[in-house]
Structure 1
């Protein structure tokens, strides 16, 4: 097609879309009248013609232009893109692309979502780009693994969404301290797996953000002081600092009163030990895995209002230093406490007054909790169906459980395995629905066999 006269063409949208083997020389094409190049080489997997001399000065739409053009790497440094308004998905998965774009005038662009997502080789200097009209930067550099450009002077004041923006940018660590993010409403996964990122974000205005799900997940070096952030509109903090292994910011003054989801929020945040005693968590419904493997965490949480929480699965699992008094917690809506205190080496709070009447799953709830020995004699466990390994290797546990109503339980496997001090009389338990009680009392050295339930 090298000799085609396309000088009168105004629309090239979809022109070579899905032309997976196409690689004709288009270097001499006159495209000066074209206004739309969206999807032009979308999925043109073998295309790599020299387009350096193209006059694209009238083009307004370049969305998906080189999306999945996997070997495309033409020099586009001299392109005049000053009239383009849409660059979303422009180089997504263009894995070889690494042209110098530092001189591009992108001042009219409003949408840069997914622009360089998974463009694994891209690392142009974009420090002087004028992005002042951009409103959408969703996933702009997601998994752009080599990208390291300085973006400190970017004007992002009109941007409303930054979801996944730097997710998986393994080398990125630009100073973003001066960014005006006051109009951003969603930052989910923004720095997830940005393993070298540690910019000072202390002065960011995040007052309009509602979603911070996984924002710093696996950002292993991040430890900025973000204690003054206004997070009062945020409803989702799931996985926010999960595996952010360096993070230990002071979040004591955060207003989290609108947050509904805190699932795995500090999961594997191994250095985190902030005082969270004053947090208003009254609207939270999911705290599963919240402090799972948060090895240093030991804040006083007794005044927390957890009355709306439904899921506490593995909440403190392997939080080896945790020993807050939780005696006042209202857990009446909770249905899952499985693995909640598994391997909490220091935990021994009085839980005698807990209302667990809605819980259905208590699997390994206190397993490998060596000093736990609260009086649980009055617990209403009438809705529980799974007690597998509940007190396995709970080396100190010896509460009287004789009055427990276990009529709905089907699984008691390993329930007291290695509970070496346990010796409560369970002979009156109704175990008619139990189908698995393998090794229930294995290595329970103090247990009197006369106290065993009467299994069929």
Structure 2
């Protein structure tokens, strides 16, 4: 073939080659990013549907070649069953909330080209999928997908096969399955190596039986898992073969925050997480709060908590937790233990091995905790602790001898520390020990009267200054100094002089800026109810 003929064929090829999606003149098309959503909304409205079809034609034949975003396109579209296989979605990049709350959606979208879609945030959220048909989405190409946060948020009954989805570019799985009900879809084998956050991943999921076995989470990119497994009810993940998953084999070596991770979860098999690498963990706030009936082999010694600085509210409102889950925690870096056992029930664990030497604050530590019997608390090192505000308020069966050896030299806040507490004593047992705490740093002390049914309470003048005692007696209605009570616990009240009379039920406990000594002896079978009263500012 001559050179002129070759040139002619080349020109013809250029002229006659089909127009690609990039060559389409979008200005000449009626449907684009600006008009597509109003058009769908108008079509969904039976009153304007005909007018919409007069303008754009039947919805199944719409030319969507220039549409790049389908955000909220079919949001609230109920009982939609039109054929959308002819739609050109090759340019679409965003499908956020595209089908949110679209109940009973039955349109065939299996042919959609999702090659360029980068975002599917909340795409199926709040959708009732029990009577819908989403089988077609298993064929979607998600090679470009980077954002699938909240994709199935609060959806019900999803049972599709999504094993073919490419999730290798996704950087976040936040709230992905949060609030799902009866989720049984197969999402096994997903590559989540680039995911840095799994916050709220399965939060509040109920009857979850999805296949999640074989997830690739091995790169160490994962850093935060707040609420990841919280509020779960009947959580039974499966592997690819449909067997129960026994361990979530994820690389957690760089995860620094697991706050709320099992918050509110019930009947959870801790074997799923017992072997996690927690060497980078710094926050465990509310990690087991409100949890009930945790079972399995998870022990505190299973997790490395040597870098955790905050144990705040770790077991708040928890029930039925056991010593193995608590006693072995490495608390050597702990600074915050606020509300750690607040509202907890039947706490009988041994914490004698806990290192509290760096703890700064223990406010509401065991606030309103019934039947609180933490063995080893008497040995806590509180030399750096500045606040015990409401720490033991409302605690029942509180052994008073826990408090005798505490170093309180750094304390600044003690308001309501023992308010409404019930002290535990052996009936009519003598209490020869003294409570003489150092309150030199305290700049505001609120003390409340002790209800002295048993034992009697005396203030030792040797441990306080006369001026402070005089101030308290004068301004707060407190009793005169009693001196050191005699060792004989059978003292006859009639023999006590008027100046050293037995304290009444609403007498004031005296604290001063230097120190305090509280001497007690038992004289009746009732337990003391201690409460925190009087204001004093240095």
**Does residue 118 of the first structure (1) align with residue 154 of the second (2)?**
yes
Q: How does 1:33-432 map to 2 (within 5 A)?
A: 33-41=65-73, 44-45=75-76, 49-54=80-85, 55-66=87-98, 68-69=100-101, 71=103, 73-76=105-108, 78-83=110-115, 84-94=117-127, 98-101=132-135, 103-108=138-143, 109-119=145-155, 121-133=156-168, 134-174=170-210, 176=212, 178-182=214-218, 183-197=221-235, 199-201=245-247, 203-225=249-271, 226-248=273-295, 249-267=298-316, 268-274=318-324, 276-277=326-327, 279-292=329-342, 293=344, 295-315=346-366, 317-318=369-370, 320-340=372-392, 342-345=394-397, 347=399, 348-355=401-408, 357-363=410-416, 365=418, 367-371=421-425, 375-380=434-439, 382-388=442-448, 400=459, 403=463, 429=510
Greater C-alpha radius of gyration: 2
Cα offset, 1:322, TM superposition: 2.0
Aligned equivalents of 2:405 and 2:39: distance in 1?
65
C-alpha distance 39-202 of structure 1, shift in aligned 2 (>3 A)? closer
C-alpha distance 147-113 of structure 1, shift in aligned 2 (>3 A)? same
Root mean square deviation, CA, Å: 4.4
Aligned equivalents of 1:96 and 1:135: distance in 2?
26
Partner in structure 2 of residue 438 of structure 1? none
Secondary structure, aligned partner of 1:290: coil
Aligned equivalents of 1:429 and 1:345: distance in 2?
23
Secondary structure, aligned partner of 2:300: coil
- Relative contact order (C-alpha < 8 Å, sep 6+): which is higher? 2
* Residue range with higher mean Cα deviation, 269-278 or 251-260: 269-278
Cα offset, 1:240, TM superposition: 0.9
Note if contact 1:352-1:375 (Cα within 8 Å) is conserved in structure 2.
no
Note if contact 1:62-1:90 (Cα within 8 Å) is conserved in structure 2.
no
Cα offset, 1:187, TM superposition: 1.0
Cα offset, 1:113, TM superposition: 0.5
Aligned equivalents of 1:174 and 1:39: distance in 2?
27
C-alpha distance 246-270 of structure 1, shift in aligned 2 (>3 A)? same
C-alpha distance 301-75 of structure 1, shift in aligned 2 (>3 A)? farther
Aligned equivalents of 2:104 and 2:125: distance in 1?
11
Higher helix share: 2
Q: TM-score, normalised by structure 2?
A: 0.65
Note if contact 1:358-1:383 (Cα within 8 Å) is conserved in structure 2.
no
Cα offset, 1:338, TM superposition: 0.6
Cα offset, 1:137, TM superposition: 1.3
Aligned equivalents of 1:386 and 1:79: distance in 2?
71
Q: TM-score, normalised by structure 1?
A: 0.76
Aligned equivalents of 2:198 and 2:370: distance in 1?
33
Structure 2 unmatched runs, 5+: 1-25, 50-57, 237-244, 477-489, 491-500, 513-523
Cα offset, 1:162, TM superposition: 1.2
Aligned equivalents of 1:46 and 1:313: distance in 2?
49
Note if contact 2:382-2:406 (Cα within 8 Å) is conserved in structure 1.
no
Aligned equivalents of 2:320 and 2:109: distance in 1?
45
C-alpha distance 284-276 of structure 1, shift in aligned 2 (>3 A)? same
Higher strand share: 2
- Post-superposition Cα deviations, 1:262-319, rounded to whole Å, max 9, x if no partner, equal 1121220423322655543233332122233153441233541342332331337336
C-alpha distance 127-74 of structure 1, shift in aligned 2 (>3 A)? closer
Cα offset, 1:58, TM superposition: 0.5
Aligned equivalents of 2:77 and 2:509: distance in 1?
74
Aligned length: 423
Cα offset, 1:87, TM superposition: 0.6
